[in-house]
């Protein structure tokens, strides 16, 4: 029999329903792996073994009662440490929040609990989720399990490291400028950034400009669809509502996508960004594969120009100041965070509003281009995984920020537009490093992306889901 951590989330759920595995057995297996491997992988900032075992025992009691089990009963799914789990510490990746305990659950956390998942702990995230790499003062760096000298990315770096290292079968992530798709690319995983308004941040976390959303990180398309199915919900007071999906997300896994018209571009919107040859190889491989599956793949004109970059920066600077920090605690902030916050606090409110207006105008014109296609193919990032510390091996935080922009110039456009977008783990370098490609879809059309992702996954067999790093 396979090891427990070899099984997918849906396989685990099925084994629990058949009484072949117990929730406690599964939870103890993963907790042992977290205890043994987390220090070198940097996946969890706050493991919660007592809570996990309590939830596992509750799951066993539910099974024993004869009640109909929820869809993911007994499946461990950790929560990113930007989100609230009642009575569990939440650091937001920052030493300035040490000692703070979440007063309530996020509504998305409630949905995952109602689906029967087990909360193994909180996964590591960079300070306030701002960088695209996960290196903090509160936990070890998050490393891609494919090469532990290299970064797992961010801001869902801990979540991706956990899944890729077999410390969880699936994980919750969130994405404000690529924060699900970037670490999914660097860790060889499938990740979905849903349509804006698909998953509520209620009751406390704000929607703001609608850049960020929650979403799943998994090894398989079916697992991601199952998690998205239970995570999707709205709450009174949400600023954004996604259109209803074409079909259910789990149903979309087995639905043929039909012949799609797919636009493709590998031109970064950030000036000075250079796409690595291995990233271009992944992009060309994906183009050829999609064509072989019967889709029309054509080069497309730019949808966004580089004029959106300074406008997006203004929003990012201002959002860096959303988390309140006591003046006495500010010395505990990392240099990049201080630099971002200084610029945010120096941005007048009218300038912020003008930037948001400019991005909305640019998006309206971009859709005139993008709506000619069913999906858009691009690289996810410009390079394979970089060494831990690479972004900060300069003393100037501004240069760190510019490196981030050049490393991840593709993903944030989907956050600006609100489109759904996925990372497909289709390529590995000769050195064994994963390189993903990105498919972005029409607003509300996650089901189409899931269908074509499942088609691609089936075409490559076990190429991505069955690959294992040495730490496995």
Closest CA to 412 of 124, 202, 182: 182
* Interatomic CA distance for residues 460 and 254, integer angstroms: 16
Q: How close are the terminal C-alpha atoms of the chain, in Å?
A: 16
**176 phi and psi angles, rounded to 5 deg:** -110, -20
**Of the residues 80, 122, 193, 314, which is catalytic?**
80
Does the annotation mark 179 as catalytic?
A: yes
Torsion of CA 99, 144, 408, 239, to 10 degrees: -40
Nearest one of 230, 194, 224, 232 to 210, comparing CA atoms: 194
> Which of the residues 139, 142, 151, 155 is marked catalytic?
155
- Is 155 among the residues known to form the active site? yes
Which residues, 6+ apart, have CB-to-CB distance to 190 below 8 Å?
184, 217, 218, 219, 220, 221, 223, 224, 422, 423, 424, 425, 453, 457, 464
Give the max Cα distance, the chain: 62
The DSSP secondary structure of 270-281, one letter per residue, reads STT----HHHHH
Active site residue 107: no
Collapsing DSSP states into helix, strand and coil, what is residue 299?
A: strand
Query: Please, how many CA atoms are within 13 Å of residue 279, restricted to the half-sphere of its CB?
Result: 26
The rounded distance, in Å, linking the Cα atoms of 266 and 280 is 8
Burial code of 410-431, b = ≥16 C-beta within 10 A, e = fewer?
bbbbbbbbbbbbbbbbbbbbee
Whether 276 and 383 have beta carbons less than 8 Å apart is answered as yes
**Residue carrying the six token digits 């869902």:** 156
**Is the previous residue joined to 155 through a cis bond, with omega within 30 degrees of 0?**
yes
| Angstrom distance (rounded) from CA 30 to CA 78 | 11
CA separation, residue 114 to residues 18, 117, 149, 191, 197 (Å): 20, 8, 38, 22, 21
List C-alpha distances in Å: 64 to 25, 67, 362: 15, 8, 56
Decide: 181 and 88 in contact? Cβ < 8 Å. no
**Given 107, 142, 179, 421, the catalytic residue:** 179
Residues with catalytic roles: 80, 155, 179
């Amino acid at each position: 029999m396979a090891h427990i951590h070899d099984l997918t989330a849906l396989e685990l759920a099925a084994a629990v329903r058949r009484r072949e595995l117990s929730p406690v057995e599964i939870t103890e297996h993963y907790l042992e792996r977290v205890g043994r491997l987390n220090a070198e992988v940097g996946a969890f900032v706050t493991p919660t073994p007592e809570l996990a075992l309590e939830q596992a025992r509750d799951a066993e009691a539910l099974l024993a009662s004869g009640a109909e089990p929820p869809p993911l009963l007994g499946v461990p799914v950790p929560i990113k440490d930007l989100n609230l789990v009642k009575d569990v510490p939440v650091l937001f990746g920052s030493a300035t929040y040490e000692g703070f305990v979440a007063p309530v659950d996020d509504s998305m956390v409630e949905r995952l609990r109602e689906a029967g998942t087990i909360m193994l702990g909180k996964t590591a995230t960079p300070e306030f989720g701002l960088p695209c790499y996960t290196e903090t003062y509160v936990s070890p760096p998050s490393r891609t399990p494919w090469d532990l000298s290299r970064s797992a990315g961010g801001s869902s770096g801990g979540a991706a490291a956990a899944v890729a290292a077999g410390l969880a079968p699936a994980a919750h992530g969130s994405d404000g400028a690529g924060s699900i798709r970037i670490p999914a690319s660097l860790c060889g995983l499938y990740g979905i950034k849903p349509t804006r308004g698909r998953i509520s941040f209620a009751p406390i976390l704000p929607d703001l400009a609608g850049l960020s959303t929650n979403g799943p990180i998994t090894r398989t398309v079916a697992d991601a669809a199952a998690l998205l199915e239970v995570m999707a919900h709205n709450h009174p007071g949400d600023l954004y509502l996604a259109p209803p999906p074409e079909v259910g997300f789990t149903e979309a896994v087995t639905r043929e996508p039909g012949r799609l018209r797919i636009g493709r571009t590998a031109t970064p919107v950030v000036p000075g960004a250079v796409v690595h040859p291995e990233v271009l190889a992944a992009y060309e491989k994906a183009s050829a594969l999609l064509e072989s599956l019967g889709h029309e793949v054509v080069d497309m004109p730019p949808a966004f120009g580089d004029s959106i970059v300074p406008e997006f920066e203004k929003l990012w600077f201002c959002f860096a100041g959303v988390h309140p920090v006591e003046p006495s605690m500010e010395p505990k902030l990392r240099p990049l965070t201080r630099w971002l916050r200084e610029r945010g606090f120096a941005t007048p409110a009218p300038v912020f509003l003008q930037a948001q207006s400019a991005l909305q105008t640019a998006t309206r014109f971009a859709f005139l281009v993008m709506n000619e296609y069913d999906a858009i193919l691009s690289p996810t990032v410009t390079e394979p995984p970089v060494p831990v510390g690479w972004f900060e091996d300069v003393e100037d935080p501004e240069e760190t920020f510019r490196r981030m922009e050049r490393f991840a110039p593709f993903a944030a456009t989907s956050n600006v537009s609100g489109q759904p977008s996925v990372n497909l783990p289709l390529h590995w370098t000769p050195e064994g490093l994963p390189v993903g490609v990105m498919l972005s879809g029409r607003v509300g059309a996650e089901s189409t992306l899931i269908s074509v992702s499942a088609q691609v996954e089936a075409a490559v067999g076990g190429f991505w889901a069955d690959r294992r790093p040495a730490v496995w």
